A and B are shown apart, each in its own frame.
Chain A
Amino acid sequence: MGLFDSLRESLGSWINRIFKKKRAKIGLYGPPNAGKTTLANRILHDWTEGESFGEISPVPHETRRAMRKEGVVINANGSSIELDIIDTPGMATKIDFREFMAFGLSEPESKKRAKEATEGVIEAIKWLDDLDGVLLVMDSTEDPYTQVNVTVIGNMEARKLPLLIVANKMDLPNASPARIKAAFPQHAMVPISALEGSNIDSLYQAIATHFG
């Protein structure tokens, strides 16, 4: 490469850094029923014109396919960041169809859901290779020391990619974000209620800081 080409490339890089809108591909990860899709829908509700990712349900593994929304622009901290958001299926190490039958699903429906849920976990894992950062959504009422949380955090640390912990379900009386903070003190955490939207502005500011 000649000196002129090198200078042009270097100059182009600087111009991009100064003027280009910051962009990041982030994945929403977490165990089933942590509120990932509720949060994804909340982000779209706040920053797009009424779009949504999908249905939410008390039955685990409602999201069984990763869903992607490109070009979601979030304005916070006086700057803007453009996000490609991937709402991933809940990560799990075990899937038993009987768990779904306890929610009233028929046996064939439960078996079908279990099969799709296993595929969803694999899809969520594949997405880890293609992200700039992760929002790890945890249920603040549950024990944070789940293997899914430990594994996702370990994976992002090994890849040296930014991770922001979202302590969700703060609207519930037994929510304990302090327990999450004590479990993973090395990572930033924002307590929110994706359902009610409480403290969501703090999350947007943290997203702009972490992924911008």
Chain B
Amino acid sequence: MDLISGEKLERMTSMEKIRLILDKVKKGKIVVLENGLTSDEEVRLIEMTMTEIRVDEFSGIEIESYPSKKEGSFLDRLFGRSLKGRMTVIGPANQLRTIEKDKYQISTKVSVGD
């Protein structure tokens, strides 16, 4: 399992983040992002995942995050930068399974050696 800090993510472009996540997940790793992704990055991650699905090799990802949180200064809100990504867990669909999720907690089950 890899826990990636918010500082590292902030220095990366969207494409770099998506590539990093997919490369790790395809190797069977569970990735936890401290600050998560923006909603647009989440959509691009799903899109990229679809292009990489291969029969018997990679069936996609399990991704769980909390709904975006509105915060930031007045100027951030004015320029639409107020929706902050939140902690996100991503893993191979055949290894990571969400058991329960609500506003405040995500419970997952990780299978090893699958």
| Nearest A residue to B50, CB-CB | A118
Given contacts A93-B60, A118-B53, contact A158 B93 (CB under 8 A): no
Whether A97 lies near B55 (C-beta < 8 A) is yes
By the criterion CB–CB under 8 Å, are B63 and A125 in contact?
Answer: no
Verify B43–A94 contact, CB threshold 8 A.
no
A158: contacting residue among B53, B63, B83, CB under 8 A? B83
State which of A32-40, A76-84, A146-154, A204-212 sits at the interface with chain B. A146-154
Chain A contact residues, majority secondary structure: helix
| B67: Cβ under 8 A from any A Cβ | yes
Q: Known contacts A94-B62, A121-B47, A143-B101: does B53 contact A151 (CB below 8 Å)?
A: no
Give Cα distance in the complex from A121 to B42, angstroms: 13
Question: In the complex, are the beta carbons of A183 and B103 less than 8 A apart?
Answer: yes
A93 touches which of B51, B68, B83, B93 (Cβ 8 Å)? B93
A: interface residue count bin:
20 to 34
Produce 1/0 per residue, A119-160, CB < 8 A to B: 101100100100000000000000101010011011101101
Interface residues of A in 89-103 (CB under 8 A from B): 91-97
Q: Is the CB of A121 within 8 A of B50?
A: yes
A154-B42 CB under 8 A given contacts A96-B93, A122-B47: yes
In whole angstroms, how far apart are the Cα atoms of A97 and B47 in the complex? 18
B76 CB to closest chain A CB, in angstroms? Answer: 13
B40 within 8 A of A: yes
Q: Which residues in B have some Cβ–Cβ distance to A below 8 Å? A: 38-40, 42-43, 46-47, 49-51, 53, 55, 59-68, 80, 83, 93-94, 101-103
In the complex, besides A91-B46, A93-B62, 4 extra interface pairs with C-beta distance below 8 angstroms are A122-B47, A128-B43, A145-B103, A147-B65
